[in-house]
Structure 1
């Protein structure tokens, strides 16, 4: 069991590194890194998301999220609006520039995913998805 577990672990790490390198290469063409792209994506998908929710989606601390968001605000990609019920809470939105960049990058991002997975059959993709969802479920911390 231990040997198979380690083989699976290193296989997952290798897969992650391949995907990560492909993403970094693509996003660099748009002057983005992975966290900035995912912030654009999450705010695009959930306009008005607050810092705590975004931190949960990004799987990082609120401090890290705040630092990246501030940088993106300075570049005119994001804007924040105060919550009228709780003035300590801010909601995030893409600016027109942020929306334009996200839309352009996301088209290329989807094309890259399609290219990377094109050699798999639909049955293989279904099987791999089921297995990966189970692995994610098992590895996700409870609480």
Structure 2
């Protein structure tokens, strides 16, 4: 693979992570990391999701994820409910506090993206989405 191609992809990655603000340890002026917010996202949209399922979705180490979930449980953001069928499995969902927190973070995220693209025309916004879909399609191509 051409060294220049790899360097250009890495350059874009550095640019994009800085633009969307994931290079600091806290997302959207909150006390939470990107991975913690992703756990909240998954628990919000898939109540009952398990840690094992999250490990696959987020592609993170099980031990790290376990500590992260424990922190969110301790802060009463995530609830763990033991499975009746298999006592080793816990379903995760957001508490009321977690739902309120996630809704606020989700709102801030949408506002940040709106601000990021406000200078673009409608056609340019549609082109941006088309290009992003193209990147996604290429990187998930088998």
Asked if 1:43 is matched to 2:43, the reply is yes
CA distance in 2, matches of 1:13, 1:129: 19
Asked if 1:10 is matched to 2:11, the reply is yes
| Alignment: residue pair count | 141
1:126 aligns with 126
CA distance in 2, matches of 1:141, 1:13: 23
**Per-residue CA shift, 1:101-132, capped at 9, x if unaligned?**
11222222211111111122232222222222
User: 1:57 and 1:20, CA in 2 relative to 1: closer, same or farther beyond 3 A?
Assistant: farther
What's the offset of the Cα at 1:5? Answer: 5.7
Deviation above 4 Å: which 4+ runs of structure 1? 21-26
CA distance in 2, matches of 1:99, 1:23: 24
What's the offset of the Cα at 1:22? Answer: 8.0
CA distance in 2, matches of 1:4, 1:30: 35
What's the offset of the Cα at 1:79? Answer: 0.8
Q: TM-score, normalised by structure 1?
A: 0.82
Decide whether the 8 Å contact of 2:26 with 2:32 is kept in 1.
Answer: no
CA distance in 2, matches of 1:45, 1:21: 21
CA distance in 1, matches of 2:46, 2:78: 13
In structure 1, the gaps of 5 or more residues are none
Moved more, 70-79 or 11-20: 11-20
In structure 2, the gaps of 5 or more residues are none
Secondary structure of 2:87 counterpart = coil
Q: Map 1:1-143 to 2 at 5 A.
A: 2=2, 3=4, 6-21=7-22, 27=28, 29-140=29-140
User: 1:23 and 1:126, CA in 2 relative to 1: closer, same or farther beyond 3 A?
Assistant: farther
Q: TM-score, normalised by structure 2?
A: 0.82
**Per-residue CA shift, 1:51-71, capped at 9, x if unaligned?**
122122222122221110001
CA distance in 1, matches of 2:27, 2:38: 13
